[in-house]
Amino acid sequence: MDQSSSLSRIDWVARSCRLLAATAAEFRDTRPFAGLTIGTGIHLEPKTVALLMTLRAGGADLVCTGNLNSTQPETVDYLRAQGIKVFATQTRDPEEHGASLDAILAEKPDLLLDNGGDLFARAADTPYANLLGGTEETTSGRTRLIPMRDRLDMPILVINDSPIKQFAENKHAVGQSLFESYLRFTNRSTNGKRVTVFGYGACGKGTAACFRNAFSTVSVVDIDPVTTLEAHLDGFSTPLREVAIRSADILITVTGYPDIIAATDLPLIRDGAILMNGGHFPHEIDAEGFRNSPDVAGTDRYEAEQIETVRMRDGRTFHILGGGHMANLAGPRPLGNTIESMDLGFTLQARCLERVAKGGLGGEACVIPVPADIDALVASAYLDLAR
Ligand SMILES: NC(=O)c1ccc[n+]([C@@H]2O[C@H](COP(=O)([O-])OP(=O)(O)OC[C@H]3O[C@@H](n4cnc5c(N)ncnc54)[C@H](O)[C@@H]3O)[C@@H](O)[C@H]2O)c1
């Protein structure tokens, strides 16, 4: 043995992002970002580091900030140690976050990599000449930027609107990470458990499949009859909502809408049931409504586990994981979606930025989906590595 070394999670993630590593190797030759500065506003956590280092391999100067409430100090330290300029603090304060966004734009980056539209919305208000365009990661960012198209008038490619992102992350990765989170929070079995999944969109499909594969009996409740028919034909039971709640040992919401399980459902919830949410906002399970119900005698909290037990006056108890926040980003050691799904999504990011840097796209490409040839390129590259 020559040498051994002690490595961090950032190293583990970087070495697991094989597609980004291959892209970085190509970028070292092609240097698509030579002479350009990229301003980024995306969660500063280990998976993002792999993307940022790929952009730097392509010759980019980077100025980076994060999003509200998700900046990991170890990641910031790591990036700074690599000589990357970071303006970010772990904060829930929009003003403090706004100051970081302003600091990024004061550097007048040529390209922006945005997550939620924070940077582009500011650039629409205070335009500067050398901004070529960039990328937006999310649906919410797309919705925010569409009304600003006239003012932005530059290519902005929306990563969420790629079929790869839809099936690699929303379908497969969210299902897996919600399943992993159930085990991580509870250390309880899934075998023989009756699971009800609310919402059979991309995220619900993956979730239902993962629990079925783990020997649970899974039912699906969706408000849309066509989607419910799809669940039925996929082999899931599709009972009426009341029946589904009454029978479930595990209730999972992944709809994107509020009050999917609310205080009015308290009479239906089975003794011992576990409730968890995978939707973006912590409003799908009305935990506050439960606490305030006259039918509830009290609650107990397992602080370190982030499990709350609701005690009903009639003697039943049930448990809520992570206060109803996205379970895969809550609780002890939350890891989020799989590295491979982010490797794919972030390679789409790198390729889209490369496309914008090349020029050739104009204002007609303002807030549009990932071009189909980039989807094909990324899919082929991933398959090549997998063969
Ligand atoms: N946890 C994560 O890492 C993660 C990742 C991606 C997306 N998300 C979030 O997951 C949620 C779902 O995303 P998606 O891509 O599957 O959305 P989607 O729009 O594809 O699917 C949502 C489904 O919920 C159904 N629905 C709506 N109201 C309902 C109700 N009252 N009862 C039952 N079903 C109802 C809809 O008919 C639809 O089929 C969103 O909030 C999204 O932001 C989370």
Query: Relative to the CA of 203, which ligand 1 atom is closest?
Result: 16
How confident is the prediction for the chain on average, in pLDDT? Answer: 95
Q: How confident is the model at residue 67 (pLDDT cuts 50, 70, 90)?
A: confident
Q: Is the CB of 20 under 6 A from ligand 1?
A: no
| Ligand 1: residue whose CA is nearest its atom 18 | 201
Dist. CA 226 → ligand 1 center (Å): 15
pLDDT band, very low/low/confident/very high, at 252 (cuts 50, 70, 90) = very high
For 9-154+338-386, CATH number out of 2.70.70.10, 3.20.80.10, 3.40.50.1480, 3.40.630.10 equals: 3.40.50.1480
Determine the Cα–Cα distance for residues 112 and 65; give it in Å rounded to an integer.
Answer: 11
Any ligand 1 atom below 6 A from CB of 12: no
Is the pLDDT higher at 335 or at 136? 136
39 pLDDT more than 80: yes
In single-letter form, the type of residue at position 76 comes to V
Q: Which of 169, 232, 280 to mutate to test the pocket of ligand 1 (most atoms within 8 A of CB)?
A: 280
CA–centroid distance, residue 222 to ligand 1 (Å): 10
Kindly state the DSSP code that residue 222 receives in the 8-state scheme: -
Q: Enumerate the CATH 3.40.50.720 domain ranges in the chain, comma separated.
A: 170-329
**Under 8 Å CB-to-CB from 137, ≥6 apart: which residues?**
42, 113, 114, 115, 116, 158, 159, 160, 345, 349
Evaluate if residue 1 carries a pLDDT over 90: no
* Residue 205 CB burial class (10 angstroms; 0-12, 13-18, ≥19): buried
Per-residue model confidence as pLDDT tens digits over 141-188: 899 999 999 999 999 999 999 999 999 999 999 999 999 999 999 999
> Model-level pTM?
0.88
Q: Does 329 score more than 90 pLDDT?
A: no
In DSSP notation, 152-216 reads H-S-EEEGGGSHHIIIIIIIIIHHHHHHHHHHHHH----TT-EEEEE--SHHHHHHHHHHHHTT-
Range 14-19 average pLDDT = 96
State pLDDT tens for residues 100-118: 999 999 999 999 999 989 9
Q: Is the CB of 280 under 6 A from ligand 1?
A: yes
Atom of ligand 1 at shortest distance to CA of 337?
3
Q: What is the pLDDT of residues 338-378, one digit of tens each?
A: 999 999 999 999 999 999 999 999 999 999 999 999 999 99
Both structure tokens of 176: 């897996």
Of 160, 203, 210, 260, best ligand 1 pocket probe by most atoms within 8 Å of the beta carbon: 203
- The stretch 177-204 carries a mean pLDDT of 97
The verdict on the CB of residue 223 being under 6 Å from ligand 1 is: yes
Instruction: Give residue 26's pLDDT.
Output: 98
Instruction: Name which residue leads in pLDDT, 280 or 241.
Output: 241
- pLDDT above 90: residue 244: yes
Q: Is 279 in the pocket of ligand 1 (CB under 6 A)?
A: yes
**pLDDT the model gives residue 144:** 93
The closest residue, in CA terms, to atom 25 on ligand 1 is 199
Give the Cα separation of 287 and 276 in Å (integer). 11
364 Cβ partners below 8 Å, 6+ apart? none
Quick check: 92 pLDDT over 80?
no
Q: How confident is the model at residue 89 (pLDDT cuts 50, 70, 90)?
A: confident
Distance in angstroms (rounded) separating the CA atoms of residues 297 and 353:
55
Candidate from 140, 167, 170 with most ligand 1 atoms within 8 A of CB, to mutate: 170
Domain with CATH 3.40.50.1480 in the chain: 9-154+338-386
Q: Is the minimum distance from the CB of 227 to ligand 1 under 6 angstroms?
A: yes
Q: What is the pLDDT of residue 247?
A: 97
Q: Is 202 in the pocket of ligand 1 (CB under 6 A)?
A: yes
CATH fold of 170-329 reads Rossmann fold (3.40.50)
Residue whose C-alpha is closest to residue 214's, from 194, 182, 231, 190? 190
As a residue count, the chain comes to 387
Q: Which of 67-76, 155-164, 265-274 has the lowest mean pLDDT?
A: 67-76
From the CB of 175, is ligand 1 less than 6 Å away?
no
